[in-house]
A and B are shown apart, each in its own frame.
Chain A
């Protein structure tokens, strides 16, 4: 851990962000770019003051968040146990490996039209995309986590008369936790992406819906505020999982 340089790093990063915001603000004012295309930090901020208090905003955010939360919860609830099982039992892995790899190789957004056909343009199709986006990295990394379990740990557990369930709870689960959490981190961004793009494609409400709407109306400031919203959410969620992950790695070393 480069502890002495971390303050320095934060300083440099902060300066970089400020410089970027400064140029973004000044360039349109100086007539270097057209603010219709680029907008400005001040305009985006002004847009937030209009958007946030409106009733629509709360509705959009709650729709998008629900789609994400349900789809992602399903992805975790389904992906983690299945991944652990596949990692533990080679026969299951051989059985399910081809379909999983096929889905893994398919861009999950390409399935969007079929989900709309099946589930309509409401929340269900977004939940489905978030689920498919999230579940694959979670499943694959949970599986990899189990395969990182050393045989000697299992043998040691067996030498103390551990049953299969004990081996699972006391060895496999804690040992694969870092892999599981890494899968969850990768799954978060895929699920967020799924929700937003699905909303942009065909929807009645949601943050992605608004991004598409404001885009078609050339309201760059409104559009960028919504994009920012998604970025902040994705960043925060990923950061939270990463913090958890680092804690687990340190404990697991």
Chain B
């Protein structure tokens, strides 16, 4: 098997037309007011990124590299301090029906049942012309929670709770699925399982997906493209196209190519190839 990793530094520059990419990030800077002390924390520093329609992109990096901030800015939940985000060529000014978010801490309403949590987004987006409960039920089934419709979140395991979170996001039929470390609080085995299932669901209609994680294996396993970020300040250091065939299974993780990707990304994250990461490179 030929080992071939193509880095695409072109993506780092501001190339390609806005119309061609589904999501386009231009010189995005996200800053937070530091608590108490004066000054601001630069979470993301002039990031550029183009994401094509129907691709699964993962963002990987150490904690504090601004990967969640990048995602939340695309979601419209964080206002950028500089630059802008375009979705379908239109500047993002806030959350929109074209995007749905899956949160790290699930963010389920504890007083709502599984079914009513999945209905939550539909209610807020004022869906009509269809029985919302019936639609919610279909998505509960899609994520494998049939039979748990009337449970409350606290009665479910973390993995099951996040299935609800995924169902809630998919139910509003977004063009773009934004996942902010969705499996971060799950145990390793559940994580792998959820990853495989997420891919299986994604394969059905290939919505554009952006997935933040600090797990290297997870990032490779899911992605068409991996955005590697570095910190101080948070920035995109590399974008890697993953040429692993789909559909992928757990065995994919044992392939030589997979291991090669893992070695490269780890080196990059450790800062050992800090220079080379930002340059065109083949191996």
Q: List B72-120 residues whose CB lies under 8 Å from chain A.
A: 75, 77, 94-97, 99-101, 103, 105, 107-111, 120
Contact indicator A153/B109 (Cβ below 8 Å): yes
Contact indicator A160/B125 (Cβ below 8 Å): yes
**CB-nearest residue of chain A to B113:** A251
Summarize A's interface: helix, strand, loop or mixed.
helix
Q: Confirm or deny: A85 has a beta carbon within 8 angstroms of a beta carbon on chain B.
A: no
Distance to closest chain A CB from B30 (angstroms): 15
Given contacts A161-B97, A175-B111, contact A155 B124 (CB under 8 A): no
Q: Confirm or deny: A159 has a beta carbon within 8 angstroms of a beta carbon on chain B.
A: yes
Given contacts A158-B95, A161-B95, A161-B96, contact A252 B111 (CB under 8 A): yes
Q: How many residues in B have their beta carbons less than 8 Å from beta carbons of A?
A: 24
**CB-nearest residue of chain B to A175:** B111
Distance to closest chain B CB from A4 (angstroms): 22
B274: A residues at CB distance < 8 A:
none
Contact indicator B107/A156 (Cβ below 8 Å): yes
Distance to closest chain A CB from B9 (angstroms): 32
**A252–B103 Cα gap in the complex (Å)?**
20
The CB with the most chain A CB atoms within 10 A, among B96, B99, B108, B120, is that of B120
Contact indicator B154/A253 (Cβ below 8 Å): yes
Contact indicator B103/A155 (Cβ below 8 Å): yes
B100: A residues at CB distance < 8 A:
159-160
Distance to closest chain B CB from A178 (angstroms): 9
B1-19 vs A, CB cutoff 8 Å, 1 = contact: the mask equals 0000000000000000000
B44-81 vs A, CB cutoff 8 Å, 1 = contact: the mask equals 00000000000000000000000000000001010000
Contact indicator A155/B77 (Cβ below 8 Å): yes
A-B interface, 9 closest residue pairs, ranked by CB to CB distance from nearest: A156-B107, A152-B107, A160-B124, A160-B121, A159-B101, A252-B111, A162-B124, A253-B154, A159-B95
